[in-house]
Structure 1
Amino acid sequence: MRIPTRLLASLRRPATSPLTLRRLIPIQSRNCVSCETPSGPRAPVAPKAGTLPPDHRTISTAQSLLITSPYSPGSPLFLPHGTRVYNKLIEFLRAQYAVHGFQEVLSPNIYKKSLWETSGHWENYKEDMFEVSGRGAGVKDEGGLEEEYGLKPMNCPGHCLMFKATAGSRGLRDLPVRYADFSPLHRNENSGSLSGLTRVRRFHQDDGHIFCRPSQIAHEIKKTLQFIETAYQVFHLPKPELVLSTRPDNYIGELSEWAQAEAALTQALNESGQSWELNEGDGAFYGPKIDIRIQDSDGKKHQTATVQLDFQLPRRFGLEYLAPAPESEQKGIISEDPEELAKSGQVTPVLIHRAVMGSLERFMAILMEHHNGKWPFWLSPRQAIVIPVSMTEQIAGYAQKVQDTISGVGDSVEGGERDLSQPQALGKRTFHVDVDTSTNSLAKKIKNAKKAGYNHVIVVGERNVAENTVSVRVEAGESKEAKKDLEMTPVELYNHFVDLESRYA
């Protein structure tokens, strides 16, 4: 059965009233089936005249992405739809890590105070940390006092422990070592500064640490800046600002090392070909950094990515690797002197802290506002919905089979239940597809799908059952001048979904 002529006629009626204009807004796909993936940054979706700029807090509520609770202020509770977006960001990063040579690790959430004293965080960052105590925490330190614990605000000390555990067997050819970690972090933000997803107490960061030779600093920073640029193009974000933050008042380490680190970052920025600004005195206490900032819909700038150069933590944790000509190696000089090369010794690596998205929660907020809640298909929490024209047993059963095929979860057996006797194959591409089983009219179902923000609306009727096809509602191009229905088999539509996701469309 085709979509009712009356409904199609109303969609094609000339735009002579506000009501008609609303009807002409695309209700199916935010990516035309015949269009290629747009390249380059996209301007933020502009709000309608007389409306406020997009607010991620409003969008997240309207789309049922997350909730907040007074029982855990500053710690959002992600609902299934929000978790899908979060997981897609993680999947994207993991795919890039394979290319950029990062190895993912897992690390504890709680460490003893003595670790934070070694890293310098207890002295310089304690006010922003959560202290932890409880049953089983009564370990005595050397002075006979009960040791305190702290929830980790960052992953670098734990990654230093990992490097040190295997450092005895490392030579210069084993470097760089690149660790990546998505475990949750906690920072004791002032309650008055908490705001949606942009300022929270519990968050996840695409935290990465590169342990490298001094001579590898420039190359690793260049690769990291390229990683960030490539990722932001995928999300069609505007060109970010690059800011060099230098030595703060509460710095640790020697001035000569700070000068060397700041010079290395300055050189990397100059060679990147991008414009950048200087922000004196705003570096981390252990090293200078390059911050990447994105502007939100209100014009406020948020830090997302960061690249920090650190000579201090490797020394504090006693990290070493074995190399010939150790004195030259420590200075970043590749020695060719046979006499020097005949001697080997321990060298302290340099640590590069890096994040591409930064806080995933904050990055999600920026994406929500940039796209005004209109997610690209690959990132969307509601990718498609199947709408039966009527709820007869035949059409409803076919709608279930279509859902199973285009979602990639397999075929249904008799009675509509999925076959659970076989495990799903690793690497199988799956998509989130719903079925509208309500008794509403077709027009009402389509209206609800549009309001919910589904990227694809798929209509099935008697003719589709007979021909093993689906009717996919798409907008013809970007002009919004006409609409048409594409006929294809469920398998063809699944393959189209795979293609869209492969192109980050």
Structure 2
Amino acid sequence: MAALTITLPDGSSKELESGKSFSDFVQNQLPFLKEKALAVVLSDGRTVDLSFVPTENTTVKFLTFDDKEGKEVFHHSSAHLLGMAVQRLWPEARLTVGPVIENGPGFFFYDIDFGDLVITVDDLPKIEAEMAKIVKEDLTVKRWELSKEEAIEKFKKENEPYKVELIQGFDAASVSLYGQGEWYDLCRGPHVARTGQLKAFKLTAISGAYWKGDSKNKQLTRIYGVSFPTKKLLDEYIFLIEEAKKRDHRKLGKELDLFSFQDEAPGFPFWHPKGTVLWNTLASYIREECFRRGYQEIKTPAILNSSLWKKSGHWDNFKENMYFTDIDESEFAVKPMNCPGCCLIYKYHMHSYRELPLRFMELGNVHRHEMSGVLHGLFRVRAFTQDDAHIYAPLDKVESEVEDIIDFTFDVYKKFGFTEFKTFIATRPEKSQGSDEDWNLATQALHDALKKKGIEYGIKEGDGAFYGPKIEFNIKDSLGRLWQCGTVQIDFSMPNRFELDFTASDGKKHAPVMIHRAIYGSLERFIGILIEHFEGKFPLWLNPTQIRVLTVAETHSDYAKEVYQDLVMQGFRVELDVRNEKIGSKIRDSIMKRSSYTLILGDKEKEAGSISYRRMGEETTATVSRDGFLSLLKGELN
């Protein structure tokens, strides 16, 4: 029989005997992938199992756990492992759906109807033990197809009503099933070749969930899990999860007295004095950096007439995320974005090409209607402040402006100790406004700017704003997590809608291009990221509690107050602790408050006019003169 030609991503080709599967191909031609390959992407875009037998020449990509799609295959197979274990332990349990998820307490879950049986977290170890048995059995995973009618009949006999209901809703004439050992489930696949590949897993949470997300339907038990191809990866993940719990900004925000949320305003943060210091420090820093780069600061109203939002396009594309109110029998909206107000300021004056690019920055407070179920500390709130800027530029200056914004963005991130980044271009979404020509020009300008700066980037298809494509900047924190923060968006639409113009060198009127940009994204969310990144141990310039002055005994209070006042007059953020408590207790309290420097003042320091201090995270104490300590602080800030 003639052999098929299988072409690999690097352009090389190898032969596969006709009638053999991709599993055979890996075994014979790519043995280094034997334990890593999970599925195969064909040249027509289909993703298939390794057991798939090709019938024609094709270009392939073998998916591993290093690929996003490979992880999805692995985690979906892990959901099947969970489902099989549950039905071995409780044969009367009825399975519904077991999808892969990106956000939540696991990478996958299975919704299960246990009838009258109540399953709790105490049952999870028992399920894990059964899953481990199935892994050890190293069962072959098989796929087969049935007609829709055959599948309905099969699942009716097996008393699987949820599967029957699902199949009845399908338009296809046939459905696929996946089985391992005595167990099988309705599934499109693909899946791993053997259960033995699912070596490391953990069930992470259990909760209730309604069938099809409808509270009128029966409540099911949802079991979440994570899985990895090695125990080492699982252990690393568990360590990061525990570390993330310790760093949770909601927990640390309360401990450090930075902010709170109140029942009287759900989703709206209340900034306490120390949190306000942190907020203001970030605002002052970005404001100063903007001024250095030729930005002018503006402020626009929080509430504007609905006619403005209809003109800008927000009414048609963003209305469900907005708050509305009536004033003098007219409808107004609380601003969800700052850009339309900025356009009114631009339009207030006539402009010449000599003024452009014109850069306006605004620390604008915006409000967005978020469902209560998605609120999450400072990461998802209903009111936040964007470090917004809108740049009006002629077309021939757009690319250079974007390049400058890229440099600006990375300079800011590096100030906070972020050195690893991931960058994307987000393209036109289905719900959008503007011409194809403008979108193509805007998208190409973003591509060209990133290429000119030598920055590697990925593509997020359809994730752009409704008015223009954007660059998304992701920063990697100290736990290796990626956070999407800054954006650069090119907008041809809004200047046209607001009839903005400038007089060009030829004396004619032209519409400027509007560039939207934010670097923090929002101050609130960025502060949440910083709290977790630093574990509340902020660098000196940022720390709300830079110095705490402690007394060993009451007799040292006058000297401590003198030192305290001197440091305050030098512009430092200082707290004084002259309580009649043991010095060990005071030091522990200072450590808990994450003070950058703890000063310990006793007889020796009082007599010599010196200072003994400990840096945050250190256990040794050093003694210097007061002038020496000031030089140390100023040196660290510079």
TM-score by length of 2: 0.60
Aligned to 2:623: 486
Match status 1:186 vs 2:367: yes
Report the AA paired with residue 162 of structure 1: I
Q: Secondary structure at the match of 1:182?
A: strand
Match status 1:458 vs 2:599: yes
Mean CA deviation greater in 277-286 or 455-464: 455-464
Match status 1:96 vs 2:289: yes
Deviation at 1:48, TM superposition (A): 11
Cα shift readout 1:146-199 (whole Å, capped 9, x = no counterpart): 421000011111111111101x2x211111111111121101111111001111
- Taking the aligned partners of 1:103 and 1:132, their CA distance within structure 2 comes to 31
- Taking the aligned partners of 1:51 and 1:269, their CA distance within structure 2 comes to 32
Match status 1:406 vs 2:567: yes
Q: Secondary structure at the match of 1:352?
A: strand
Cα shift readout 1:439-459 (whole Å, capped 9, x = no counterpart): 101122112111221111111
Q: CA separation of 1:299/1:118 partners in 2, compared to 1, >3 Å: closer, same or farther?
A: same
- Taking the aligned partners of 1:148 and 1:241, their CA distance within structure 2 comes to 42
Bigger relative CO (Cα 8 Å, ≥ 6 apart): 1
Deviation at 1:59, TM superposition (A): 1.1
Deviation at 1:389, TM superposition (A): 1.7
Q: Secondary structure at the match of 1:358?
A: coil
Q: Secondary structure at the match of 1:351?
A: strand
Deviation at 1:498, TM superposition (A): 2.9
- Taking the aligned partners of 2:413 and 2:381, their CA distance within structure 1 comes to 23
Contact kept, 8 Å, 1:306 with 1:358, in 2: the verdict is yes
Give the length in aligned residue pairs: 400
Deviation at 1:366, TM superposition (A): 1.0
Deviation at 1:127, TM superposition (A): 0.4
Q: Secondary structure at the match of 2:379?
A: coil
Report the AA paired with residue 92 of structure 1: Y
Report the AA paired with residue 465 of structure 1: K
Cα shift readout 1:21-58 (whole Å, capped 9, x = no counterpart): xxxxxxxxxxxxxxxxxxxxxxxxx8798884521111
Q: Percent identity?
A: 35
- Taking the aligned partners of 2:477 and 2:406, their CA distance within structure 1 comes to 21
Which residue among 354, 357, 361 is the counterpart of 2:520?
357
Bigger Rg over Cα: 2
Contact kept, 8 Å, 1:179 with 1:210, in 2: the verdict is yes
Q: Secondary structure at the match of 1:449?
A: helix
Match status 1:118 vs 2:259: no
Report the AA paired with residue 196 of structure 1: G
For structure 1, the 5+ residue unaligned runs are 1-45, 139-145, 326-343, 409-428
- Taking the aligned partners of 1:361 and 1:190, their CA distance within structure 2 comes to 18
Aligned to 1:211: 392
Deviation at 1:501, TM superposition (A): 2.4
For structure 2, the 5+ residue unaligned runs are 1-238
Instruction: Kindly report which structure 2 residues correspond to 1:7-18, keeping only aligned pairs within 5 A, or say none.
Output: none
Mean CA deviation greater in 108-117 or 52-61: 52-61
Q: Secondary structure at the match of 1:173?
A: coil
- Taking the aligned partners of 1:241 and 1:474, their CA distance within structure 2 comes to 33
* CA-atom RMSD in angstroms: 2.0
Aligned to 2:612: 471
TM-score by length of 1: 0.76
Which residue among 304, 307, 317 is the counterpart of 2:485?
304
Deviation at 1:390, TM superposition (A): 1.1
Deviation at 1:301, TM superposition (A): 4.3
Aligned to 1:330: none
- Taking the aligned partners of 2:379 and 2:531, their CA distance within structure 1 comes to 12
Q: Secondary structure at the match of 2:588?
A: helix
Q: Secondary structure at the match of 1:435?
A: strand
Which residue among 492, 496, 503 is the counterpart of 1:322?
503
Deviation at 1:303, TM superposition (A): 2.2
Which residue among 151, 157, 171 is the counterpart of 2:340?
157
- Taking the aligned partners of 1:281 and 1:358, their CA distance within structure 2 comes to 20
Instruction: Kindly report which structure 2 residues correspond to 1:67-466, keeping only aligned pairs within 5 A, or say none.
Output: 67-133=260-326, 137-138=327-328, 146-166=329-349, 168=350, 170-295=351-476, 301-325=482-506, 344-392=507-555, 395-408=556-569, 430-466=571-607
Q: Secondary structure at the match of 2:400?
A: helix
Contact kept, 8 Å, 1:474 with 1:485, in 2: the verdict is no
- Taking the aligned partners of 2:457 and 2:633, their CA distance within structure 1 comes to 39
